[in-house]
Structure 1
Amino acid sequence: MRYIKLNIVAILLCLASAMAVTSCEDEGYDEYDAGATPTAALNGEWWINIADEATGQILIPHALHRTFDANNGKMYISDRFYGDTSPPLTYFGWELIAQVNPDVQNLAFSATDAFNEADESSVTITEGRVFPRGGRSQTGVVTDSIYFKAVFDYDPETVLIFSGHKRTGFIEDEY
C-alpha cells in the first residue's frame, strides 16, 4: 500500500513538472510585446479640486478623476464612477467625460470644443499638464500632480480650474 502511494505521488509530481515546463514556452509569442499604452505617462487616477478661476472658490473638493488611453491617439478625462452600469450614472466632479489631445513628450494635453459624453455638452480644455512628483497626498506621500482649465459651452464665461494629485491607493490617502 505504501508503494502505491509513493508511485501515485511520483506520477503526480512528474505530471506537474511536465505541465510547468510546457506551459512556459514562448513559441508563438516571439513578436508579442505587451508594452504600454501611448498615453501611459499621463494616465492615472487623480484627486482633483475644482475651483472657479474668477473667485478662487473651490466648488468641488477631492473629486476622483481618471485619465486613460482612448485607443485612437487621444486620451480620456473622466470623473464617472465606473461601478455604474445603468442610468442614472454617478459622477464625482463636474460631469466630465471627454477626449483630449495628448502631448506625451511634454506631459501636456488640451481639447477644443470636445464632446462631453457625460451631459452632451462641449468642453474646451487648456493648459493641461501633468507634473511628475509635483504633488503630495493628504499623508504627505510625493505623487504626480495634474492641472488644467475647462470651459463648458453652457457657461462660456466661467473658467474652472482643475488641480490635484495622483491617487496613491493607500487607504489613509483616500478622501
Structure 2
Amino acid sequence: MKYIKYSLILLVFGLLSCDLGSEPTIEGTKLKAMCGEWWINILVDGEDIGAGFHLVTTSNTAANNETDLILDDHETWPAKIVTKVNLPAMTFDAAPNLANAYDDKIKVSVIEGKILKGAATTPGGNKTDSLYVKFEFSDDPGTQYEYAGYRRTGFLEDEH
C-alpha cells in the first residue's frame, strides 16, 4: 500500500510538471554575419610587423542590435572595444577614442574596417571571410595599425 501511495504521488507530480506550451522561437544574434573568430596579422603601412598570427573575436553586445560590435584582440595590444558597424555594408564606422575594456588609459580609434564574404584563402586552401580593421591607439599616436586576416575555419590546417 505504501508503494502505491508513493507511486501515485510521483505520477501526479510528473503529470503536473509537464510543459504543454509551444517551443520558443530561437533566433540568432543580429550581427551574426560579422561575428566570429579571426586569425589576423598586424600590419603598419601595409607591412606585416612580424608578430605572427593572433586570434581576434568579434561578437554582438548584450543589446543584440545591428550597430554595436565588440572587437576583442585577447590582449594582443591590448584592445577590447565596442564599435559601430554598418551591417548591410559589412563595414566598421570610423570612431575616435573608444573606451578600452582591457586598459582604461589606452583609447582606441577605429579609422576604417570591413569584412569581405568569401574573399580569403586560408593556408589550408579553404575559402572564408576576410577581416580588415585599421586602428590608432592613444599610447602610440600617429601610428596606424591594421588587423588583417581571415575567419577561423576550425580546420586543423588553418590553425596557428
With the shorter chain as reference, the TM-score category is 0.7 to 0.9
Q: How far apart are the structure 1 equivalents of 2:108 and 2:159?
A: 28
Partner of 1:52: 44
1:108 to 91, 103, 109: 91
Partner of 1:161: 146
Q: Bigger CA drift: 100-109 or 111-120?
A: 111-120
Q: Which TM-score applies when normalising by structure 2?
A: 0.79
> Of Structure 1 and Structure 2, which has the larger fraction of its residues in helix?
1
Residue type of the alignment partner of 1:165: Y
Q: For residues 171 and 57 of structure 1, do their structure 2 counterparts lie closer, same or farther at Cα, with a shift above 3 Å needed? A: closer
Aligned partner of residue 45 in structure 1, secondary structure = strand
Matched, 1:66 2:57: yes
Partner of 1:134: 119
Q: How far apart are the structure 2 equivalents of 1:26 and 1:170?
A: 42
Residue type of the alignment partner of 1:68: S
Pairwise CA distance, 1:26: 6.9
Q: How far apart are the structure 2 equivalents of 1:127 and 1:96?
A: 16
User: For 1:2-151, what aligned pairs fall within 5 Å after superposition?
Assistant: 27-29=21-23, 32-53=24-45, 56-72=47-63, 73=65, 74-80=68-74, 91=75, 93-110=76-93, 111-120=95-104, 121-151=106-136
Spell out, residue by residue over 1:89-119, the C-alpha distance to the aligned partner (whole angstroms, 9 max, x if none): xx3x221111110211111113321111112
Matched, 1:152 2:141: no
Q: How far apart are the structure 2 equivalents of 1:172 and 1:140?
A: 9
CA contact (8 A) 2:41 2:48 kept: no
Aligned partner of residue 157 in structure 1, secondary structure = coil
Unpaired runs of 5+ residues, structure 2, are 1-13
Q: How far apart are the structure 2 equivalents of 1:26 and 1:97?
A: 43
Residue type of the alignment partner of 1:77: L
Unpaired runs of 5+ residues, structure 1, are 1-18, 81-90
Q: For residues 143 and 57 of structure 1, do their structure 2 counterparts lie closer, same or farther at Cα, with a shift above 3 Å needed? A: closer
Aligned partner of residue 172 in structure 1, secondary structure = helix
Pairwise CA distance, 1:59: 4.4
Pairwise CA distance, 1:170: 1.1
Residue type of the alignment partner of 2:71: I
